Structure 1
Amino acid sequence: MNFIKVSSACPITKVADVSYNIENIKLCIEKALKEKSKMIVFPELSITSYSCGDLFLQKELLNKSLNGIEELCSYSVDKDILIAVGAPYEYNYTLYNCSFVIFKGKLLGIVPKTHIPNYSEFYEKRWFTGAKTMHTDMVNLPFQKSVPFGTNIIFNSGEAKFAFEICEDLWVTIPPSSFLALLGANIIGNLSASNELVSKYYYRKDLVASQSARAICSYVYSSSGVYESTTDLLFSGHLLISENGTILSENERFQRENEIITAIIDLDKLSSERRRNLSYRDNIALFSSPITEVSFTFDSLEIGEFNRYISKHPFVPSREDTRQERCEEILNIQGSALAKRLEHTGAKKVVIGISGGLDSTLALIVAVKTYELLKLPMENIITITMPGFGTTDRTYNNAINLCTKLGTTLKEINIVEACLKHFEDIGHDPSIHDVTYENVQARERTQILMDYANKESAILIGTGDLSELALGWCTYNGDHMSMYSVNCSVPKTLIRYLVQYAAEFKLPGEIGDILMDILYTPVSPELLPKDDKGDIVQKTEDIIGPYELHDFYLYYFVRFGYPKEKIIFLAEQAFKDSYSKDTITKWYEVFIRRFFTQQFKRSALPDGPKVGTVSLSPRGDWRMPSDASFSSFK
């Protein structure tokens, strides 16, 4: 599945006690091996400790440090893990602050620090020199000859390509990791000694996350801990693992034990992002530099327990505070987009078909926000409810009450007689409840809405959402069509939270109560007659499958281009307490078939704003032939 598990570690240290430090480094490696980790990053100068001061100029300490590296190499002979450990290294009578990269008994390379801080509390230039060129030399150590020494080394194990930088390298204007990523590295390790100051934690965390986003990589960060010298500074042992802008794992700082954190990196995700990002590819074309590639092979890429968090609802932020911010932002995007369209056309009125369902409710909420922005009267929002054969009292009353409470101009136009006449015109038996029976109603409603919009010099607001467009769950030239579609890139799973957010924070009280009842009404087009009790018979998710599954498939298929096997695997992890593998596979096959066969509807979509990372606009994000085969994807 192209996952790899990586670790960041902070061992207990004693200043200038190499033997003690080596033993604790080994204990951290053992922990990482039990986690099935394939790479572990230690803090800067962790062999000696960072805060040795002028002791770095003592030959005895430098010799002990090299002996420690040799000991780690011997220790690692049967260890299937890449180890990056910090230590000083003397080359041509010059001292460098380095990352020593070890794998299965061999020193694969030495990466010197490029940027040496010499300001505020840092005065490293007293001892160390920064790497001045991108050239790689071959150096000889007492225990191993011809070891690559340089900044442009990529350690290649196939899909995973590792590279390293050290502390200050991340804090400069253009970090070396930016170039290393352009040269192919997708997992960057940073061996750091970042002291703790008030609020520095937040800056450091943002820096790691943003660099992983800019470089489209995983960034594994390890900083020195509380056992460094506290003569003038305190180090907290901050550990972070980030992937393309997201923090996957982080520790609690100020720990007093050997500590590691681990995370599972999705290499396919990084590859997908790099493939689709044209600016990233253009950067590669502008940058060329000599590179030393060191190849090695893991015995196994088994990751053990799959403990990477997979959200059931990838379109929806898991944290409530973030979710509220996201909802507010989406409503602002939708409302501002509609406001621009109204100003451009000169229209003062809009028409919305209101069913008492989620989608039309969200479109109405957006229209209300737009009219607040433009300072236009709410009665200029013309809401039309069009009861038909399957309309239930619950949806009808919610539609009427919501529009009345919001102060819109409400119209009711019953479509039953018009549909019966149309059945007669086309020779359709109304007792046959087939697709013709359903689509006649959908197109009748759209015709009414379009014509009423013409009558009032208004524009018709579309209500259909991203999930329906992905599945083609809309009537061509029926609810598929409008003059501006505000929900076109909002998936069904997110619409629920948008309506809930509006109920709780934007329109509380009586209107909020109506919105909450709409929220808990089964999703249905209400095109089939209701049952004897007057309840909904036609429940969409009973027919095409759960929207939460379809949104999950849509996200990973369109956003990252994952194959069936990986999407099914991820769905199994996310929904392990909800659906069996057979159920997940069944609805995936429905999704793929419908996604391909219904592209012709998406090829003829009206305008509408993109609000998230996935959009199916034929003019922008998704350009697909209407007659493409799904055989290779099912």
Structure 2
Amino acid sequence: MNHFGFVKVAAAVPSVKVADPAYNAAQMETCLRQAVREGVRAVVFPELGVTGYTCGDLFLKPLLLDAAERVLGALLRRTESLDIVFMAGLPVRAGTVLLNAAAVCYRGEILGVVPKTHLPNYNEFYERRWFASAQEWGGGEVELCGQVVPAGPDLLFEAGGMNFGVEICEDLWAVVPPSSRLALQGADVIFNLSASNALTGKYAYVRQLVAQQSARCLCGYVYASCGFGESTTDVVFGGNALIYENGTPLAFSERFSTQAQLVSAEIDVERLRAERAVNTTFRADAAYEAAEPYERVETGMAPAPVLALSRPVSALPFVPKGTALNENCQEIFNIQVTGLATRLAAAHAQTAVVGISGGLDSTLALLVCAQTFAKLDWPRKKIIGVTMPGFGTTDRTYQNALALMKNLGVTIREVNIQKACEQHFSDIGHNPKIKDVTYENTQARERTQVLMDIANQTGGIVVGTGDLSELALGWATYNGDHMSMYGVNAGVPKTLVRLLVLWAAQHETGKKTQAVLNDIVATPISPELLPATAKGHIAQKTEDLVGPYELHDFFLYYFLRYGFGPAKIYFLAKHAFDKKFTPAVIKKWLQVFLKRFFAQQFKRSCLPDGPKVGSVALSPRGDWRMPSDASVQAWLAEAENLH
């Protein structure tokens, strides 16, 4: 069973009794056993959790230090059969100094000790009264629980398919956190043992810190801060447990709980490594950092198979969620509008010419044109919307196209292409009764010629309507709708096109236009190149032919953004579409996606200009460079064996 790069980690917040190591170790053991039952591979406990963080001057008493070391040794013996790494915080003697440290433990052994580097000694914190920082101490080895182990902030651990490093509380708040160097040294995940007290507004700031550091370091970040039972003489601790991956929150604890808590999530190490592989800034800094390699500690823990995920897998990875929806939609429109405005000005264009079919893509392109002309303070009559009825045009799409253009106040032109196509069939000797690719593509190329010639007539440019999903699948006629003078939708996948049109209906248009837009969204996606049914309905539905766009956009996102192979994409898709598509259906369309993506690269190699709006794009001048004759066989071979 493949683990697909996932490693399940946890942050634990047990209850504590200040200066009672035996009680605290027992609580930690309970959390550890729960973590093992849940399939967790590594768990971090709060700062100084063995003794409690708020012991004050009791840290200087040998009795407490001896007790802490003794109970940690007992905990190691009681948990040596458990296949889990854990990080326990305790005061550790190193010669004549005392360290605020994390003991990294596995199967009865202490793998290493990581001392805190940055000791807060301001406001309510007085750590320098008791502890020496890692910088002052200098590193080396320490003896703990009868074991002589490596100690220092420069330790990198391997366990269960991940590399990880450790920092402690204030280290994260430093100008240059130790985790930055740990990440450059190869740490996929950072564990932080913390004791951050609760103050008004501080929790939001802590979350920002963790999110930003995980994003900056392209890593997973697991944070555990102490909670119930710590002394409340002057401060209160809220018991914060956080898990982030590259800026994205995966799990949180309940704050101010009086019960022990264990929050867990799967970190996608493969995804993080893919991000780092393409990020040249990270790679360059990592190469520089490699001149002073950290000490590596192997655990021998093997990766564990992953049967299910607790972390969410969005079925629509391109679509913004929650409160970000409105802001992101506005941002995408602004990118498209600014791109088109710049191109119109640079080309000294007098008009923008758009083919309007009554479908989603041309609707979005026309909405972008309308906003662009408003931004430039140009009259909308200089937008020329062209409807070009053909053999498959239905009354529904035709009427929607006319209504949309009328409501937006653009110039409407109608060019029926049927006679021109029939003449072309006659010229090349094609029987129009044969509804093959020639029959279909003739219409697409005729429409493009009409648009190009009208642009020449009016001193304008043709605004392309094709979207990112169509480019990925090659669902465009070469030198037909494949061509334009600026493709405003080139960076927008189909699932996002639909959302943007709906968003525009609610935010950017009047009631009449809103009704038209809603009907366009409800219309089946179709190129309308085959004659309509006897009842006048669309006969040619794109998703019946190439598959559901929501699946293809899902495949595209993980294939392009992270370079995942078919097996992992299939695994993720089964989770994301568990109640919508069967595994057999997912496998079928994944194979179609792979075949089409490789076979249609030649169309993407000569794409018109168009703006990138998100993290995935296919421009041959930007994000994606691929030989047009690359073989798909290795990907298909892996896809064939999926079950």
Alignment TM-score, normalising by the size of structure 1: 0.98
Question: What are the within-5 Å matches in structure 2 for residues 266-415 of structure 1?
Answer: 266-287=268-289, 288-298=291-301, 301-303=304-306, 305-319=308-322, 321-415=323-417
The Cα of 1:210 is off from its aligned counterpart by 1.0
In structure 2, distance between residues paired with 1:277 and 1:301: 28
Q: Of residues 28, 38, 41 in structure 2, which corresponds to 1:25?
A: 28
In structure 2, distance between residues paired with 1:11 and 1:468: 52
Question: 1:16: which partner in 2?
Answer: 19
Whether the 8 Å CA contact 2:7–2:161 is kept in 1: the answer is no
Whether the 8 Å CA contact 1:116–1:130 is kept in 2: the answer is yes
The Cα of 1:322 is off from its aligned counterpart by 1.3
Whether the 8 Å CA contact 1:330–1:611 is kept in 2: the answer is yes
Moved more, 91-100 or 436-445: 91-100
Closer, same or farther: CA 303–64 of 1 in aligned 2, 3 Å: farther
Whether the 8 Å CA contact 1:593–1:630 is kept in 2: the answer is yes
In structure 2, distance between residues paired with 1:538 and 1:189: 54
In structure 1, distance between residues paired with 2:364 and 2:319: 16
Q: Of residues 7, 15, 22 in structure 2, which corresponds to 1:4?
A: 7
Question: What are the within-5 Å matches in structure 2 for residues 84-103 of structure 1?
Answer: 84-103=87-106
Moved more, 306-315 or 604-613: 306-315
- Match of 1:516, SS state, is helix
Note the aligned Cα RMSD (angstroms). Answer: 1.2
The Cα of 1:139 is off from its aligned counterpart by 2.1
Given residue 319 of structure 2, which amino acid in structure 1 is its aligned partner?
Answer: V
The Cα of 1:136 is off from its aligned counterpart by 4.3
The Cα of 1:303 is off from its aligned counterpart by 4.3
- Match of 1:632, SS state, is helix
Whether the 8 Å CA contact 2:228–2:259 is kept in 1: the answer is no
Moved more, 436-445 or 89-98: 89-98
Moved more, 296-305 or 618-627: 296-305
The Cα of 1:580 is off from its aligned counterpart by 1.2
The Cα of 1:298 is off from its aligned counterpart by 2.2
In structure 1, distance between residues paired with 2:40 and 2:307: 9
Question: 2:203: which partner in 1?
Answer: 201
In structure 1, distance between residues paired with 2:515 and 2:300: 60
Given residue 536 of structure 2, which amino acid in structure 1 is its aligned partner?
Answer: G
In structure 2, distance between residues paired with 1:309 and 1:476: 39
Question: What are the within-5 Å matches in structure 2 for residues 556-571 of structure 1?
Answer: 556-571=558-573
The Cα of 1:51 is off from its aligned counterpart by 0.8
The Cα of 1:142 is off from its aligned counterpart by 4.5
Question: 1:63: which partner in 2?
Answer: 66
The Cα of 1:135 is off from its aligned counterpart by 5.8
In structure 2, distance between residues paired with 1:512 and 1:608: 27
- Match of 1:69, SS state, is helix
* Counterpart check, 1:50 vs 2:62: no
- Match of 2:141, SS state, is strand
The Cα of 1:95 is off from its aligned counterpart by 1.0
- Match of 2:58, SS state, is helix
Given residue 480 of structure 1, which amino acid in structure 2 is its aligned partner?
Answer: H
Whether the 8 Å CA contact 2:92–2:144 is kept in 1: the answer is no
Question: 1:36: which partner in 2?
Answer: 39
Partner deviation per Cα, 1:464-512 (whole Å, 9 max, x = no partner): 0000000000000000000000000100011111000000111141101
* Counterpart check, 1:622 vs 2:624: yes
In structure 1, distance between residues paired with 2:499 and 2:300: 46
Whether the 8 Å CA contact 1:315–1:555 is kept in 2: the answer is yes
- Match of 2:135, SS state, is coil
Question: 2:639: which partner in 1?
Answer: none
- Match of 1:356, SS state, is coil
In structure 2, distance between residues paired with 1:579 and 1:158: 32
Question: 2:120: which partner in 1?
Answer: 117
The Cα of 1:137 is off from its aligned counterpart by 1.2
Question: 2:609: which partner in 1?
Answer: 607
Q: Of residues 186, 189, 193 in structure 2, which corresponds to 1:187?
A: 189
Partner deviation per Cα, 1:24-55 (whole Å, 9 max, x = no partner): 11111122111110000000001111111111
Whether the 8 Å CA contact 1:79–1:104 is kept in 2: the answer is yes
Whether the 8 Å CA contact 1:110–1:147 is kept in 2: the answer is yes
Percent sequence identity over aligned pairs: 52
Closer, same or farther: CA 77–555 of 1 in aligned 2, 3 Å: same
Whether the 8 Å CA contact 1:274–1:281 is kept in 2: the answer is yes
Whether the 8 Å CA contact 1:386–1:413 is kept in 2: the answer is yes
- Match of 2:581, SS state, is coil
Question: What are the within-5 Å matches in structure 2 for residues 398-437 of structure 1?
Answer: 398-437=400-439
The Cα of 1:158 is off from its aligned counterpart by 6.1
Closer, same or farther: CA 302–626 of 1 in aligned 2, 3 Å: closer
Moved more, 249-258 or 600-609: 249-258
In structure 2, distance between residues paired with 1:133 and 1:475: 68
In structure 2, distance between residues paired with 1:224 and 1:57: 21
Question: What are the within-5 Å matches in structure 2 for residues 208-607 of structure 1?
Answer: 208-287=210-289, 288-298=291-301, 301-303=304-306, 305-319=308-322, 321-607=323-609
In structure 2, distance between residues paired with 1:290 and 1:72: 32
Moved more, 223-232 or 543-552: 223-232
- Match of 1:271, SS state, is helix
Whether the 8 Å CA contact 1:5–1:262 is kept in 2: the answer is yes
Whether the 8 Å CA contact 2:385–2:412 is kept in 1: the answer is yes
Question: What are the within-5 Å matches in structure 2 for residues 122-201 of structure 1?
Answer: 122-132=125-135, 136-144=139-147, 146-157=148-159, 159-201=161-203
Q: Kindly tell me the number of residue pairs found equivalent between the two proteins.
A: 632
**Gapped runs of 5+ residues in structure 1?**
none
The Cα of 1:305 is off from its aligned counterpart by 3.9
- Match of 1:633, SS state, is helix
Partner deviation per Cα, 1:81-136 (whole Å, 9 max, x = no partner): 00001101111211110001110000111000000011122121111111117964
In structure 2, distance between residues paired with 1:551 and 1:134: 53
Given residue 392 of structure 1, which amino acid in structure 2 is its aligned partner?
Answer: T
In structure 1, distance between residues paired with 2:500 and 2:603: 26
- Match of 1:467, SS state, is helix
Whether the 8 Å CA contact 1:36–1:302 is kept in 2: the answer is no
Whether the 8 Å CA contact 1:135–1:151 is kept in 2: the answer is no
Whether the 8 Å CA contact 1:27–1:258 is kept in 2: the answer is no
Closer, same or farther: CA 511–142 of 1 in aligned 2, 3 Å: closer
The Cα of 1:545 is off from its aligned counterpart by 0.6
In structure 2, distance between residues paired with 1:169 and 1:221: 12
Partner deviation per Cα, 1:521-579 (whole Å, 9 max, x = no partner): 00000000001000000000000111111111101111111111111111111111111
Whether the 8 Å CA contact 2:163–2:186 is kept in 1: the answer is yes
In structure 2, distance between residues paired with 1:492 and 1:221: 38
- Match of 2:187, SS state, is coil
In structure 2, distance between residues paired with 1:90 and 1:135: 14
Closer, same or farther: CA 435–307 of 1 in aligned 2, 3 Å: same
Moved more, 416-425 or 341-350: 341-350
In structure 1, distance between residues paired with 2:356 and 2:235: 64
The Cα of 1:143 is off from its aligned counterpart by 2.1
- Match of 1:265, SS state, is strand
The Cα of 1:140 is off from its aligned counterpart by 2.1
Question: 1:83: which partner in 2?
Answer: 86
In structure 2, distance between residues paired with 1:142 and 1:413: 86
Closer, same or farther: CA 281–133 of 1 in aligned 2, 3 Å: farther
The Cα of 1:625 is off from its aligned counterpart by 0.6
The Cα of 1:633 is off from its aligned counterpart by 1.1
